[in-house]
Amino acid sequence: MAIMVGRSDGAPHFALRSFRVDAGGHTPRHSHDYEHEVYVVDGSGTVLLQGEERPIGSGDVIYVEADSEHQFRAGSDGLRFLCVVPVDRNCGGPTPGS
Amino acid sequence: MAIMVGRSDGAPHFALRSFRVDAGGHTPRHSHDYEHEVYVVDGSGTVLLQGEERPIGSGDVIYVEADSEHQFRAGSDGLRFLCVVPVDRNCGGPTPGS
């Protein structure tokens, strides 16, 4: 994960991060008190959202609400996506990786 | 411009928008009381920032601080970029196009 713009740049509201998941890999299955807005740049895979595994690919946009369990899985080409998060958590304090 | 995720989706902090500028076209030269975080998806062109015209292309990230004059210009292939804005302006009220 790379923070492309974030709190260390003085960004006051949200951070733009880039993720690369290698072929067959996945992100943690988890939920947290802040949302994601995701844009798939390259590759394909699936996202677990609202209890369903859905196919995703280049150009897709995924909104993950706060407190919603989610997980991203890369297909055979890997998966690269942007993920925007607020710099402050809904329940206070800095968002990790912002 | 298309709002891919925004306030009408219940997004509480920021909106993810997609812009397409045709070959030779440009966005308004302006400034406003909220920031942009921009990711160039396709094409190339230039951005006016801090009084300088700089080349931009696919994969580039541009942070436009609040109250900073800016303008995007498309080159011969056009320019497609994502632009994230806060849903609420720094000085109050909804951000236009959020």
How do residues B53-85 score in pLDDT, each as one tens digit? 999 999 999 999 999 999 999 999 999 999 999
* Interface contact B12-A4, CB threshold 8 A: no
In a domain, A61, yes or no: yes
User: A82 and B14: CB-CB below 8 Å?
Assistant: no
> Cβ B12–A5 below 8 Å, yes or no?
no
Domain presence at residue A93: no
Domain annotation covers residue A97:
no
pLDDT at A88 over 90: yes
CB of B4 within 8 Å of a chain A CB? The answer is yes
Distance between CA atoms of B89 and B98, rounded to whole angstroms?
10
| Domain encompassing residue B7 | 2-86
Domain membership of residue A81 (yes or no) is yes
Note if the pTM is more than 0.90.
yes
Asked if residue B47 belongs to a domain, the reply is yes
ipTM of the complex: 0.90
User: For chain A, what is the domain count?
Assistant: 1
Q: Which residues of B touch A39 (CB under 8 A)?
A: 4, 16, 39, 82
> Taking a C-beta distance cutoff of 8 angstroms, is the pair A17, A2 a contact?
yes
